[in-house]
Amino acid sequence: MFTQLHTTAKQRFHSLLDEDPELFKNVPLQYISSMLGITPESLSRLRKLN
């Protein structure tokens, strides 16, 4: 929880993607965005840039 306070959404996204890329195939994106503390629209933008 404390790491989320000191990292950007982009950093959290890349960290989660590096840790568990299969998660993005098996879990609905709305739940992933909630885990990251961002809106689904922001997650969509981050995925587009990746």
- Tell me if 43 sits within 8 A of 32, measured CB to CB: yes
Q: Which helix (H) or strand (E) holds 40?
A: helix 40-49
Tell me the C-alpha to C-alpha distance, in Å, between residue 11 and each of 26, 32, 37. Answer: 21, 14, 12
Q: Compute the mean pLDDT over every residue in the chain, rounded to the nearest whole number.
A: 89
CB 38 within 8 A of CB 15: no
What was the pLDDT predicted at 3?
61
Question: Residue 50's pLDDT is what?
Answer: 80
Q: Which residue did the predictor score with more confidence, 43 or 6?
A: 43
Q: How confident is the model at residue 31 (pLDDT cuts 50, 70, 90)?
A: very high
Tally of structural domains, the chain: 1
pTM (two decimals): 0.81
pLDDT on residue 45? 95
User: Per this entry, what is the length of the chain?
Assistant: 50
What pLDDT score was predicted for residue 29? 94
Q: Which domain holds residue 44?
A: 2-49
